Chain A
């Protein structure tokens, strides 16, 4: 086990996080016990953040005790690993608009005391801002399949990010336009962020996800 980022470990080409709730799997992932510590394998194909780490993400803005706002939480696959990383002292808010996928997510929240479910539309940050009780977050992560991904990201930035905090935006080209060239879609979406963010790195998620990039940026 080699620690690549705080709380994230590499072993035989796969990455792992320390299981916050030992013995319990979240989405059928592999559990690995080394020196009495239980690790959960982080699937590159199921989680875009894992895919980005595999493809050479240069820094990881979260560590023990961080506060995270995660838009597009879905069933909470990625968020469960985020929960492992931030540990008991951290807080992660997971926002998703669909009750269907949140059914599973709520079950996870009951096991992991640092994860909170919010069923709201990420397009309307004012609808859930009161739940964060004025907290600013260390990382704003967004992975939604909507045509106006950059705009949603900026709206949330306004409420929840302070200067120097990190943002991660997954851009799904096919949600924005079925027809235009993938490269120009990425350029346009990321270009919209440059007023407020310094884009540090853009990681392509091939071969784990088609036509996706993850942009790591810092609030100016």
Chain B
């Protein structure tokens, strides 16, 4: 008897291990992890950039209101160091023609900022350059996600866009779950908090869109029609996901995108 149980146990462990292995060799796993990393990279980048900007602000307080883009600001710290080194020419080389180069140089000469200590500046420049590295990693990761999504879900990713599509898929739990999903759920993925707030208290209006708010189709229609656009988009996204999961390799994305464009013009 005892030996039978031992055998049963061994075979059950073997079976479970195989199941785990299979799950992690599925193609959507990498994408789901990558999209989570992408979100964390964004958060970390912003957090560190804000710190660096705050720090450099003591030396050149006026810069923040002129250069709004965190990435550009960090590049300035990394490239020039002390504000006295900033020159119009180098600026346009660094950031491209923005029309602000002259203004920045002028203000840097009359800035009210205090001088910065040499060793502090070194630290600050190191922080800026490392933070910028995060940005380049993010770019690579985004390319990876887009490429993998294109391979895994040719239709869905074309309709949703690579990163948005990956975000929807990660939130759903995988390609299979995505394909089994009703369109109304797809529409509200990412808006769970607002949805449950509404379900608990019917006086609060329910959400009309979650992640798909960032999709060009929803973006291009005016505010009062965004809900309608989101509804149409979600129903088409579900169709595309099903085509990828169940269907043959047929490309239905063109057809879907054309009908969505038509709908968007109606709603404008």
Complex interface bits, B1-28 against A, C-beta within 8 A gives 1, otherwise 0: 0000110110011011101100110000
Given contacts A116-B8, A178-B199, A178-B200, whether A106 and B13 have CB atoms under 8 Å apart is: yes
Q: Are B200 and A179 in contact (CB under 8 A)?
A: yes
Cβ–Cβ < 8 Å partners of A133 in chain B: 8
Interface residues of A in 111-159 (CB under 8 A from B): 113, 115-119, 131, 133
Distance from B123 Cβ to chain A, minimum over Cβ atoms (Å): 37
Among A99, A102, A113, A115, residue most surrounded by chain B Cβ atoms (within 10 Å): A99
Given contacts A178-B196, A178-B199, A179-B199, whether A116 and B9 have CB atoms under 8 Å apart is: yes
Q: Once bound together, how far apart are the Cα atoms of A115 and B5, in whole Å? A: 10
Distance from B21 Cβ to chain A, minimum over Cβ atoms (Å): 9
Q: Once bound together, how far apart are the Cα atoms of A91 and B23, in whole Å? A: 27
Choose from A110, A119, A131 the contact partner of B20 (Cβ within 8 Å): A119
Q: Once bound together, how far apart are the Cα atoms of A113 and B9, in whole Å? A: 8
Distance from A18 Cβ to chain B, minimum over Cβ atoms (Å): 20
Cβ–Cβ < 8 Å partners of A179 in chain B: 199-200
What's the count of A-B pairs with C-beta under 8 Å? 43
Q: Once bound together, how far apart are the Cα atoms of A115 and B6, in whole Å? A: 10
Q: Once bound together, how far apart are the Cα atoms of A106 and B13, in whole Å? A: 7
Q: Are A119 and B16 in contact (CB under 8 A)?
A: yes
Q: Are B5 and A99 in contact (CB under 8 A)?
A: no
How many A residues touch the partner, as a band?
A: 10 to 19
Choose from B5, B8, B20, B200 the contact partner of A102 (Cβ within 8 Å): B20
Distance from A177 Cβ to chain B, minimum over Cβ atoms (Å): 9
Q: Once bound together, how far apart are the Cα atoms of A218 and B196, in whole Å? A: 36
Q: Are A99 and B20 in contact (CB under 8 A)?
A: yes
Kindly state whether residue A109 has any CB partner on chain B within 8 Å.
yes
Cβ–Cβ < 8 Å partners of A116 in chain B: 8-9, 12-13
Kindly state whether residue A103 has any CB partner on chain B within 8 Å.
yes
**Closest chain A residue, CB of each to CB of B24:** A99
Complex interface bits, A67-100 against B, C-beta within 8 A gives 1, otherwise 0: 0000000000000000000000001000000011
Q: Once bound together, how far apart are the Cα atoms of A106 and B17, in whole Å? A: 7
Q: Are A118 and B16 in contact (CB under 8 A)?
A: yes
Q: Are A110 and B23 in contact (CB under 8 A)?
A: no
Choose from B9, B23, B196 the contact partner of A109 (Cβ within 8 Å): B9
Complex interface bits, B126-170 against A, C-beta within 8 A gives 1, otherwise 0: 000000000000000000000000000000000000000000000
Q: Are A131 and B12 in contact (CB under 8 A)?
A: yes
13 of the cross-chain contacts (CB-CB < 8 Å) are A106-B16, A106-B17, A113-B9, A115-B9, A116-B8, A117-B12, A117-B13, A118-B16, A133-B8, A178-B196, A178-B199, A179-B199, A179-B200
Q: Nearest 4 pairs between A and B by C-beta?
A: A99-B23, A117-B16, A116-B12, A119-B19
Known contacts A119-B20, A179-B200, then 14 further A-B pairs from the complex at CB < 8 Å, ordered by chain A residue: A91-B5, A99-B20, A103-B20, A106-B16, A109-B16, A115-B9, A116-B8, A116-B13, A118-B16, A119-B15, A119-B16, A133-B8, A178-B196, A178-B200
